[in-house]
Amino acid sequence: MELEDAPRQHYTENEKQDIFNQEFMPHIHSMYNFGYRLTLDRDDAKDLVQDTYLKAYRFIESFQKGTNAKAWLFRILKNSFINDYRKRSKEPNKIDYQEVETYYNSEEVDRQITPDLRVESLKDMIGDEISNALNSLDVDFRTVIILCDLEGFKYEEMAKILDIPIGTVRSRLHRARNLLKEKLKSYAKSMGYNNA
């Protein structure tokens, strides 16, 4: 996964082209979607995806043919986003993480803060509600939802992509889902579900 840490491979020009076309390019739509969901801007997403693919090609000998190309690419994109884009935005990374693993013992508290969202009210969300709710989450929470729900990564893969422990992946996902449901619940209310 590391750009520099993996034992350096040696590929011929043809092999490089094959890896790039057969192992990297098939993920371009997922990568673009990820870039768009991170930056919330189509032009920024394009730049981010292009940077990522050019970097991936430049460092292709750090990638071992036939291994997890998707996770490798996602990690490069996420790092580029942090280094190049997040820095640009004035907004500091402000959430207070409290990412303690004791969150499993907080079921009582959880019951109070987790809105009792109903499946019936979700069925009426046929517009942009879910997308807006996702976009409104802080980028760190948004990211784990994208990786898990949209891209189907395993905890271990997410931990590597994000450079955080698995326990943090789990607690972050848990909090992200609760925040998302709170948002959806407020949409449901505004749509007239009083008991949403």
- Member of 22, 110, 165, 190 binding another protein (CB under 8 A): 110
Please tell me the total number of residues recorded for the chain in this structure: 196
* Shortest Å distance, C-beta 96 to another protein: 22
* Shortest Å distance, C-beta 34 to another protein: 9
The Cα 133–Cα 187 span in angstroms is 9
The reply on whether position 122 binds another protein by CB under 8 A is yes
The Cα 56–Cα 77 span in angstroms is 9
Name which of residues 25 to 54 contact another protein (CB under 8 A).
Answer: 25, 28-29, 31-33, 36-37, 45-46, 49-50, 53-54
* 155 half-sphere exposure, CB direction, 13 A CA radius: 10
| CA 51 to chain CA mean position, Å | 18
Structure tokens, 153: 């990564």
Residues in CB range of 90: below 8 A, 6 or more apart:
none
Site residues, another protein (CB under 8 A)? 13, 20, 25, 28-29, 31-33, 36-37, 45-46, 49-50, 53-54, 57-58, 104, 107, 110, 117-119, 122-123, 125, 128, 130-131, 134, 145-146, 148-150, 152, 154-155, 170, 173-174, 177, 180-181, 184
